[in-house]
Amino acid sequence: MRKTCLILVAVVLFLSLSAPAFASPSLGFPIYEGPGCATPEDAVRLYLEGIQNEDLGKMLSAFAIETFVERFDYTGQLRRIRSYIPFSITAHPSVSSLFTTMNIESRKQEIVNAIKFQLVVFHLTDYDPVISTMFRSDDLDAEIAAFVKHFEDNLGTLALRDLELVGFIPPNQLSEMYDEEKNQEQRASSAEICRADEFRSVAALFTVGGKGYYLCCDALQYGDQWYLFRLGGNISNLLLIDQWAGGITPAP
């Protein structure tokens, strides 16, 4: 009997030690986000390294996901926009481990979708995510085959794999409006809702095939660590970059 109990205890200990991190997000195990970066620029570097290596996990690790869900001010957001949006990723407070897990998955999926659109729009300049393509040709098979081939030819080789990071540009050099009081208030409001210690836009300059591009992102600081909040964001809006482009625009 004692031997059996010892075996059961050993099994329980083994399972608890070997269980994957995603099994208990409510206990503080990270799922997607990394440990954070020393600077917002380092978070952008981490994201770009993920693109270069075609490593979605590394790309996601640059973003605040679990910490974002944990810190997010649910009632503050409702007060800020004065409305309730049922399909937003912050539609429900994290009232239990189940809802916390679902909110984490929603936050992660939001980022994955943003990355997907960013990469597709970069490679297919004629792509518009808000317009459906209707197939009306008499030769339906040929029309669909040509449509699919257009995607395969442009997405099959990830051009961003060959990007070279040139450096970073202060956002206020790209737009004088960045430092305007109203825009500073908007960033402060975002930081407050996310319960972040600081909120900052980052603009990176990179090249692909000899052409220069800007990558704009918003970053959050939690404690001493920086994470990406979103692709595009504040400085991207000021530069009138299409929201589906994920903050990427040709540099002049």
DSSP H helices, 19-176, are: 40-52, 56-61, 66-71, 74-81, 97-123, 140-155, 171-174
**Element of type H or E holding 132:** none
Sequence-distant (≥ 6) Cβ neighbours of residue 25 within 8 angstroms: 31, 66, 97, 100, 101, 104
Phi, psi of 162 (to 5 degrees): -100, 15
The mean of the pLDDT values for the chain is 85
Q: pLDDT per residue over 77-118, tens digit each? A: 788 778 877 777 777 888 888 889 989 999 999 999 999 999
Query: What pLDDT score does 28 carry?
Result: 54
User: In the chain, what's the furthest Cα-to-Cα distance?
Assistant: 77
Q: How far is CA 108 from CA 114, 129, 228, in A?
A: 10, 20, 12
Question: Which of residues 159 and 114 earns the better pLDDT score?
Answer: 114
pLDDT band at 24 (very low <50, low <70, confident <90, very high): very low
Query: Is residue 113 classed as helix, strand or coil in its secondary structure?
Result: helix
β-strand partners of 203:
169, 216
Q: Could you tell me which of 130, 158, 126, 154 has the C-alpha nearest to residue 56?
A: 158
Handedness of CA 112, 113, 114, 115 (dihedral sign): positive
User: Cβ distance 202 to 230 under 8 Å?
Assistant: no
What would the mean pLDDT of 131-160 be, rounded to a whole number?
Answer: 87
What would the mean pLDDT of 4-29 be, rounded to a whole number?
Answer: 38
Q: pLDDT per residue over 45-62, tens digit each? A: 999 999 999 999 999 999
Q: What percent of the chain has pLDDT above 70?
A: 88
Query: Is residue 84 classed as helix, strand or coil in its secondary structure?
Result: coil
Q: Could you tell me which of 93, 155, 97 has the C-alpha nearest to residue 121?
A: 155
Question: Which of residues 79 and 191 earns the better pLDDT score?
Answer: 191
Question: Which of residues 235 and 17 earns the better pLDDT score?
Answer: 235
Q: How far is CA 227 from CA 6, 30, 42, 217, 219, in A?
A: 44, 14, 9, 10, 6
Angle 154-157-158 from CA coordinates, rounded to 5°: 95
Query: What pLDDT score does 78 carry?
Result: 81
Q: What percent of the chain has pLDDT above 90?
A: 60
CA distance 201 to 28: 28
Is the pLDDT at 7 greater than 60? The verdict is no
Q: Which of 46-55, 86-95, 125-134, 140-149 has the lowest mean pLDDT?
A: 86-95
What would the mean pLDDT of 56-70 be, rounded to a whole number?
Answer: 96
Question: Which of residues 133 and 204 earns the better pLDDT score?
Answer: 204
Q: Which residue has the tokens 């605040």?
A: 64
pLDDT band at 29 (very low <50, low <70, confident <90, very high): low
Q: Could you tell me which of 74, 75, 78, 81 has the C-alpha nearest to residue 100?
A: 74
Taking each helix axis from N to C end, the angle separating 181-193 and 74-81, rounded to the nearest 10 degrees, works out to 140
Query: What pLDDT score does 73 carry?
Result: 87
Query: What pLDDT score does 4 carry?
Result: 38
Q: Could you tell me which of 252, 247, 207 has the C-alpha nearest to residue 118?
A: 247
